[in-house]
A and B are shown apart, each in its own frame.
Chain A
Amino acid sequence: AQTVTQSQPEMSVQEAETVTLSCTYDTSESDYYLFWYKQPPSRQMILVIRQEAYKQQNATENRFSVNFQKAAKSFSLKISDSQLGDAAMYFCVLTGANSKLTFGKGITLSVRP
């Protein structure tokens, strides 16, 4: 069985500052993907970043980057230069060969102006 744990329910960051969202996971599969999805109040699920487990290099997308520690089964998201539009629920998500997405409980990020 796959599990994803996001232990922090809420975080807050000052605009223009950097924040890191934590996630740990467990899977018995050797090949898998990890994602961070963002869900603003509109409730659309928006892909932020993807990490393939076989890649050693951490994924980056503009202001978003991950710290993927495969041995520790840790997958954190760093948001640099935080903007008001970054305020949302963030889900850490794991998928394997069966296409099923395993979601963490999510973390609510607020951005202070």
Chain B
Amino acid sequence: EAGVAQSPRYKIIEKRQSVAFWCNPISGHATLYWYQQILGQGPKLLIQFQNNGVVDDSQLPKDRFSAERLKGVDSTLKIQPAKLEDSAVYLCASSRDRGLETQYFGPGTRLLVL
């Protein structure tokens, strides 16, 4: 069974530029999560999707971050415009469903904003 796929693996941009990350969850997984992990900290949930609907985006900085999962499979996370403090690893995870489930993580995208 293929795991969670993410691309790109690394991205370097200048502040005020825009960037997009892509995630493909494990086949059949209905729930998809995006996390932001700043160096030295644990991951912080940005947004949770159930199929193509948003379940929780309470910690997503909506003035600059957006995410979509239009067909209930792949998802993209966008930052526009980027700030220096957005430098982090962006992790995508998926689970079979909501509730008591195991989340499986992708390899992450390392973003550096200069």
CB of B91 closer than 8 Å to a CB of A: yes
Residues of A32-51 contacting chain B, CB below 8 A: 32-33, 35, 37, 42-47, 50
Chain A residues with CB under 8 Å of B106's CB are 44
Interface string of A92-113 (1 = CB under 8 A from B): 0001111111011110000000
Q: Is there contact, CB below 8 Å, between A105 and B102?
A: no
B interface size (C-beta, 8 A): 24
Q: Is there contact, CB below 8 Å, between A95 and B43?
A: no
CB of A31 closer than 8 Å to a CB of B: yes
CB of B72 closer than 8 Å to a CB of A: no
A to B contact number (C-beta, < 8 Å): 55
Residues of A57-113 contacting chain B, CB below 8 A: 91, 95-101, 103-106
> Within the complex, what minimum Cβ distance (angstroms) separates B43 from chain A?
6
Residues of B19-74 contacting chain A, CB below 8 A: 31, 37, 42-43, 45, 48, 55-56
Instruction: Tell me which of A31, A33, A45, A96 has the highest count of chain B C-beta atoms within 10 A of its own C-beta.
Output: A45
> Within the complex, what minimum Cβ distance (angstroms) separates B75 from chain A?
16
CB of B2 closer than 8 Å to a CB of A: no
Q: Is there contact, CB below 8 Å, between A99 and B31?
A: yes
Q: Which of A31, A44, A104, A105 contacts B105 (CB 8 A)?
A: A44
Q: Is there contact, CB below 8 Å, between A99 and B107?
A: no
> Within the complex, what minimum Cβ distance (angstroms) separates B8 from chain A?
14
* Given pairs A42-B107, A42-B108, A96-B100, 12 additional interface contacts (CB within 8 A): A37-B105, A43-B107, A44-B108, A45-B93, A45-B108, A47-B105, A91-B42, A95-B103, A98-B99, A99-B55, A101-B43, A101-B103
